[in-house]
Amino acid sequence: MRIAGSQPGQSFGAVTFSYLAYGLRLEADVSIPGLLESPPTAEPDLRIWLGSKPAWVPECPPTPESTWYVSPEKEDGGRPSLVVEQLALGAYFRLTYSDGTVFVLDRDATRLWATWPPPFVLEDTVTYLVGPVIGFVQRIRGITCLHASAVAVAEKAVALMGAPGAGKSTTAAAFARSGYAVLTDDVVPLHPHGDSFLVHPGYPRVCLWPVAVQALCGAPDVLPFLTPNWPKCYLTLGGESHRFHTAPLPLSAIYLLGERTSDPRAPWVEPVPAAAGMMALVKNTYMSYLLDKERRAREFDLLGRLLERVPLREVRPPAAPPLLPQLCEVIVEDFRALPPAAVVSAQGRPA
């Protein structure tokens, strides 16, 4: 099957793989580990080629004019963690990670190619794909994503937001172990839906560092590694033990995970003032460096409407790992106590 508009040599073979993730219908030329399979559609949102790139890309070496973004974070050897370029007069983006993994995305975010150098394998590239690259794709398609996880409580989405290392995934996994379904890990796309915002499911895994696995499971080596080249693990979702919510839900509260504390009163929850809330949302949106002045203004408007509609609460987590189940209980109790007008139902109306 030849893909209309693709470059020479860039067509899928007889077998394709279809998925649904973050509200996007994906079609790939190889099986993608961890994603939720879905019946194929006539026109997917995003076609993905893994292990290949458009033939013309070597003809587009980086130039100062093509460079759009250079990450301030540096890796060993002083290489930026990420460089984003615009190729072919802005018709394509190239994302180059410090380890040599490269993604090429067309301007409309409908076609994506990925390559990686040895000794890395497909699973390594997928860790980028299902996180920052999907965040980039959503941003190009006009969807704002929170850097957060989300769980289902009473058929509503509750987001867990915070700075890197705040424990978003760990808390989502603790919810899963307490019997709640996880909706998405690390990326929460905000799809406007009437007066509310729908959160679409991500994929049925929660990614965890060994220290988090130790805190949750009592040992650091009881979960499989995401890749043979990286020590991060994953908790599989699905079935009755750790459930995955497969349908979109209205976002009905956001909990900002603060710094862990040894205060015996922890965990506790408190409201976030509106001004501080806007700053917190801006700091925790995916790929904010992509925004020009016009896009920034549109995002501020969207985040303002989000704050008007969805309560933002700060939670101070306990430092002691055995109190993780109690942290989940406190968040659920606080959520259930919110005024009814502040909690939106699945139909986009006050519950």
Last residue of a domain, one of 84, 110, 140: 140
| Arithmetic mean of pLDDT, 314-332 | 94
Q: What is the pLDDT of residues 245-286, one digit of tens each?
A: 999 999 999 999 999 999 999 999 999 988 899 999 999 998
**Is 126 inside a domain boundary?**
yes
- Does residue 278 share a domain with residue 208? yes
The Cβ of residue 50 has, within 10 Å, a number of other Cβ atoms equal to 19
- Does residue 135 share a domain with residue 238? no
- Does residue 134 share a domain with residue 73? yes
CB burial string 163-174: b at 16+ within 10 A, e below: eeebbbbbbbbb
**Is 88 inside a domain boundary?**
yes
The Cβ of residue 315 has, within 10 Å, a number of other Cβ atoms equal to 21
Q: How far apart are CA 315 and CA 158, in angstroms?
A: 13
Last residue of a domain, one of 140, 161, 176: 140
Contact 254, 312 (CB under 8 A): yes
- CATH value at residue 304: 3.40.50
**Is 302 inside a domain boundary?**
yes
**Is 210 inside a domain boundary?**
yes
Q: Per-residue pLDDT for 345 more than 50?
A: no
- Does residue 263 share a domain with residue 127? no
Per-residue model confidence (pLDDT) at position 4 = 31
**Is 34 inside a domain boundary?**
no
Last residue of a domain, one of 99, 120, 140: 140
- Does residue 133 share a domain with residue 77? yes
- Does residue 234 share a domain with residue 134? no
Number of domains, the chain? 2
- Does residue 74 share a domain with residue 116? yes
- Does residue 303 share a domain with residue 286? yes
- Does residue 308 share a domain with residue 175? yes
- Does residue 136 share a domain with residue 171? no
Q: Per-residue pLDDT for 181 more than 50?
A: yes
**Is 72 inside a domain boundary?**
yes
Per-residue model confidence (pLDDT) at position 28 = 96
Q: How far apart are CA 270 and CA 336, in angstroms?
A: 14
Q: What is the pLDDT of residues 27-43, one digit of tens each?
A: 999 999 999 999 887 79
- Does residue 248 share a domain with residue 108? no
**Is 105 inside a domain boundary?**
yes
SS3 track for 47-115: EEEECECCCCHHHCCCCCCCEEEECCCECCCCCECEEEEEECCCCEEEEEECCCCEEEEECCCCEEEEE
- Does residue 206 share a domain with residue 325? yes
Average pLDDT, the chain: 89
In this structure, which amino acid lies at residue 6?
S
Q: What is the pLDDT of residues 82-97, one digit of tens each?
A: 999 999 988 999 999 9
Domain that holds residue 94: 47-140
Cis amide linkage into residue 119, ω under 30° from 0: yes
